[in-house]
Structure 1
Amino acid sequence: MTIYAPYRSLRGISAIAVLLAIGAVGCSDVSDAVDSAGDSAKKVARQRSVFSLDIGDCYNPTGKAVGTAYTVEIVPCEEAHEGQVVGEFAIDKGKEYPGDDGVSAVADNRCPVEAQKYAPDTWALPKGVALFYYTPTKESWATGDRAVSCTYTAEKGTFSGSLETAKSLRPEQNTYLRGSNAVYEALWANQPEKDTVEDDLAGYKTQAKAVAAALDTHVKGLDGIEGTEVGKLRATLTKAAGNWRKAANAADADAFYIAYDPAFTGIDPDKSVAARRELGLATTVPADEAEVWAG
């Protein structure tokens, strides 16, 4: 999943211009002006600094969705909105600003983990929603700002309702999602930079080892969940784990490829649809994941 990074800022946006505009309206337009003023005042009252965002806040950016951000408009989650804060954490990286890339690297690693605590089933997210984050700038870092706010934000349009699902999930649903999410996180978080196995066999073997370990944990979790389709998925993933281990122990690129093909196919998200249905979870494979396995 691609993660984008709007940034925090020390500067705020003044509401004075909005409020003063009311006095420049002619008498015949008083009614419209009152309505407009009411809407403007409501919007101003909802504005909050990005430094004070809390988990669960639904909001609309007051400027561009990607770039430097100063304030956001906080709205009830029942109303249409562009984003919701689904996780937050503080960066602990010494006294020196690690640079934009350094801060983004930390957020890239942590935000998926934090977001899944709030909304574990990524398949249930509204279409077109992606993971974004607000991070400190060099200037705000100097004032002690270390906070990162992880958000799910609509890349186009808006969505309604809260994305929080963790509290409503049954134990077996949580167990399944925790294991499944860890498998794909191991796959993508360990993706080598080189495009071919020949150029980085060690890197691809490291990735395979991480996926195999995550699959072993996932399969162990499924052992305690009843259901015919869950049992079938457990068998499929057990076989896939074996192939990932073979890839991790491959002596050369050819051996790796032989093991990798069935290993990768074995974790095709489409293979988990029936088990998800049995567990009462979302069953539509996200478009970006479906595209990857479609080849």
Structure 2
Amino acid sequence: MAIRAPHRSLRGISAVVALLAIGAVGCSDVSEAVDSAKDGAKKVARQRSVFSLDVGDCYNPNGKAEGTAYSVEIVPCDEAHEGQVVGEFAIDEGDEYPGDDGVSTIADNRCPVEAQKYSPDTWALPEGAALFYYTPTKESWATGDRAVSCTYTSEKGKLNGSLATAKSLKPEQATYLEGSNAVYEALWANQPEKDTVEDDLAGYKAQAKAVATALDTHVKGLDGIEGTEVGKLRATLTKAAGNWKKAANAADADTFYLAYDPAFTDIDPNKSVAARKELGLATTVPADEAEVWAG
């Protein structure tokens, strides 16, 4: 069973603390103490177990963003807040607890995909918003907990408003983002563990094949979208797909490198800025992506 926070007892404690605070101050400070007590009571009333979070919930963590947590403060999304739940899924990789690292790996792989269903355009996310997640612990796993809640949490400052943008997208915007997101997901999700092609040619070829397949699908989706800049991007990505296919079929490391260099260059996010502008999407390349291609 999911563990739930003892809301009633917490409210009782809050009321006692509030009464003690009011009794300890002079008459001129009573109003301020009452306001403070009301704020505290409201925060307690908004507490919810992390085991019962829903997609769309906006919240403030109780304490640090990382570490073990049992409850958070749920707030209306139009109030300043630190995080929002943007996806969820259940771990179904067997009955045995995968271990802390295993759970983190599963969340690392699944949460970006789930989050993009809710907020497809990662370029439009507020600065400082980063992907975090609530996962089962060994103890909660033993009670049947398998849920992972994927969240965007502000590492600096507060978030304002909801990050739910999927339903507001135009068809051509949604088509573009679906294809583009799939390309970069194929790139990063299939990243070989070895640092050099010579040490894992098969792994790098498998990655290249995955990216080429995603690019073919993306280009096909762009065929149905009008626009001069979209057309230019489609031509660039068609060429990129060809080079990724050459890399996927390389007989040796040298041949792979010859195809990989132009293939990687042609999916530089900066090359999509003009098409994004034409489609009415965000045009500022996220800092972490810009850094990869700048290097």
Give yes or no for contact 1:56–1:84 (8 Å, CA) kept in 2.
yes
What secondary structure does 2:89 align onto?
strand
Who is 2:240 aligned against?
240
Who is 2:26 aligned against?
27
What secondary structure does 1:242 align onto?
helix
Distance 1:245 1:285, change over 3 A: same
How far the C-alpha of 1:20 sits from its partner, in A, is 2.2
Partners of 1:174 and 1:73 lie apart in 2 by 32
- Name whichever of 135-144 and 267-276 sits farther off: 135-144
Match for 1:97: what amino acid? Answer: Y
Who is 1:97 aligned against?
97
Partners of 2:128 and 2:26 lie apart in 1 by 44
How far the C-alpha of 1:257 sits from its partner, in A, is 1.0
What secondary structure does 1:159 align onto?
coil
The alignment status of 1:131 with 2:131, answered yes or no, reads yes
Distance 1:63 1:130, change over 3 A: same
Distance 1:49 1:111, change over 3 A: same
The alignment status of 1:251 with 2:251, answered yes or no, reads yes
Q: Deviations over 1:185-229 (max 9, x none)?
A: 000001111111111111111111110110000001101111111
What secondary structure does 1:163 align onto?
coil
Partners of 1:11 and 1:163 lie apart in 2 by 27
Cα RMSD for the two superposed structures: 1.5
How far the C-alpha of 1:15 sits from its partner, in A, is 4.7
How far the C-alpha of 1:98 sits from its partner, in A, is 1.4
Matched ranges for 1:178-257 at <5 A? 178-257=178-257
Partners of 1:94 and 1:207 lie apart in 2 by 27
Give yes or no for contact 2:3–2:49 (8 Å, CA) kept in 1.
no
Give yes or no for contact 1:60–1:82 (8 Å, CA) kept in 2.
yes
Give yes or no for contact 1:61–1:82 (8 Å, CA) kept in 2.
yes
Give yes or no for contact 2:233–2:272 (8 Å, CA) kept in 1.
yes
TM-score when normalising by structure 2: 0.94
Matched ranges for 1:247-286 at <5 A? 247-286=247-286
Match for 1:288: what amino acid? Answer: D
Q: Which one has more relative contact order, counting CA pairs under 8 Å at least 6 apart? A: 1
TM-score when normalising by structure 1: 0.94
Who is 2:43 aligned against?
43
Who is 1:289 aligned against?
289
Q: Deviations over 1:168-197 (max 9, x none)?
A: 011111110000000000000011111111
- Number of aligned residue pairs: give it: 288
- Name whichever of 147-156 and 28-37 sits farther off: 28-37
Identity rate, percent:
82
The alignment status of 1:58 with 2:58, answered yes or no, reads yes
How far the C-alpha of 1:108 sits from its partner, in A, is 1.3
Partners of 2:226 and 2:291 lie apart in 1 by 30
How far the C-alpha of 1:10 sits from its partner, in A, is 6.8
Matched ranges for 1:154-169 at <5 A? 154-169=154-169
What secondary structure does 1:274 align onto?
helix
Q: Which ranges of structure 1 fall in alignment gaps of 5 or more residues?
A: 1-7
Q: Deviations over 1:86-138 (max 9, x none)?
A: 01111112222111112112111111111111100000000111111101111
Match for 1:27: what amino acid? Answer: G
Match for 1:37: what amino acid? Answer: A
Partners of 1:141 and 1:282 lie apart in 2 by 40
Partners of 1:10 and 1:168 lie apart in 2 by 34
Give yes or no for contact 1:9–1:137 (8 Å, CA) kept in 2.
no
